[in-house]
Chains A and B, each alone.
Chain A
Amino acid sequence: GESVGLHLPTLSVQEGDNSIINCAYSNSASDYFIWYKQESGKGPQFIIDIRSNMDKRQGQRVTVLLNKTVKHLSLQIAATQPGDSAVYFCAENSNTGFQKLVFGTGTRLLVSP
C-alpha cells in the first residue's frame, strides 16, 4: 500500500478496548463535520457525521461528540477490533461562501489482538 500516514499521530489499543480519537477544527463558521476511515491503498470511507446544532450522535459502535466552545470533535469506537486499524480523519464543512470540505491531519489507530 501507499506510504500515507508515516508521520501521523498514532493511537495503539488492545482489541476490545474503547478508542477515542480527537480532532481540533479551525473554523468557527463550520456547521457540519464528518469522520472518515482510510485503509491502506484506499480512498476515505464515511463513518459518521454530525451537524453543528448537535452535541452528540451515535452510530453502530461509534459515537461522535462535538464541543463548539473549544472547537473540538471526538470519535469514540466501542469494543475496538483489529479491522478498525486504519487512519481516521475529521473533516469540516464551512458554510461561508462556497461549501469547502477541509480535512484534519488524521490519526493512525493500531489495534492489537
Chain B
Amino acid sequence: NAGVTQTPKFRVLKTGQSMTLLCAQDMNHEYMYWYRQDPGMGLRLIHYSVGEGTTAKGEVPDGYNVSRLKKQNFLLGLESAAPSQTSVYFCASRRQANTEAFFGQGTRLTVV
C-alpha cells in the first residue's frame, strides 16, 4: 500500500515551459487536492476534486489546470511556467468529507 505518490520529486523548468505533475493514490479515495507551499505561507489550495471527472478551484488556481480522468490519479498542469510558480507542491487525498487527508512527499519545482 503506497498511499499517495507524487511524480516527479524534483524538477527544474525554464520560464515558458510546460509540465504535468502526477498524483496517484491507491486508497480508493474520492477527494483529491493540490497545494503549493512557499516559505512563510503555509499550504495554499490550488485545485481539488471531489470525485472522478470533477474539479474545482481553490485559493490560488491561476496559472494551473487539473484533470481527474481516473479516480486514482489527479494531474496538475502548468501550461507556461513562471518564476512565481517556484514552490513545493503537495498532493493529498481523503476518503470522504470530514476525514483525514493523506499527503504525498511533495514535488520541488524550480522555474528559472
- Which A residues lie at the B interface, using CB under 8 A? 2-8, 31-32, 34, 36, 41-46, 49, 51, 89, 91, 93, 95, 98-106
Tell me the bound Cα distance from A5 to B88 in angstroms: 12
A60 shortest CB reach to chain B, Å: 16
| A-B contacts, 8 listed (Cβ < 8 Å) | A2-B106, A3-B39, A4-B39, A5-B39, A36-B103, A43-B4, A44-B103, A101-B101
- Whether B97 pairs with A106 at a CB distance below 8 angstroms is no
Q: What is the 8 Å Cβ interface bit string for chain B, positions 26-58, against chain A (1 contact, 0 not)?
A: 000001010101011111110010100000101
Query: Assuming A31-B98, A43-B105, is B45 touching A4 (CB within 8 A)?
Result: no
Residue count of chain B within 8 Å CB distance of chain A: 31
Contacts of B98 in A (CB 8 A): 31-32, 51, 93, 95, 99
Query: Assuming A44-B43, A98-B50, A100-B48, is B101 touching A4 (CB within 8 A)?
Result: no
- Whether B39 pairs with A45 at a CB distance below 8 angstroms is no
- Whether A100 pairs with B105 at a CB distance below 8 angstroms is no
